[in-house]
């Protein structure tokens, strides 16, 4: 793996971590309200 590939791999890893955090925050803080509103519509 060359330097460029390692850099891309690191960016992909960081991006995945950020997406995971966003998902967990949504589930923890917003999902209940979201699901209640969705059921009503």
pLDDT tens, residue by residue, 17-32: 999 999 999 999 999 9
Is residue 5 very low, low, confident or very high in pLDDT (cuts 50, 70, 90)? confident
Q: At what angle do helices 31-40 and 3-29 cross, to 10 degrees?
A: 60
Provide the 3-class DSSP secondary structure of residue 1.
Answer: coil
What burial letters (b/e) apply to 8-29, b meaning 16+ CB within 10 Å? Answer: eeeeeeeeeeeeeeeeeeeeee
Q: Over the chain, what is the mean pLDDT?
A: 87
Q: Please state the rounded mean pLDDT for residues 4-26.
A: 90
Taking the whole predicted model, whether its pTM rises above 0.95 is answered as no
| Greater model confidence, 27 or 1 | 27
Domain that holds residue 7: 3-40
12 within 8 A of 19, measured Cβ to Cβ: no
pLDDT at res. 29: 97
Quote the number of domains for the chain: 1
């Amino acid at each position: 793996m060359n330097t460029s590939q390692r850099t891309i791999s690191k960016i992909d890893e960081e991006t995945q971590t950020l997406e995971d955090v966003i998902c967990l925050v949504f589930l923890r803080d917003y999902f209940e309200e979201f699901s209640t509103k969705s059921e009503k519509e």
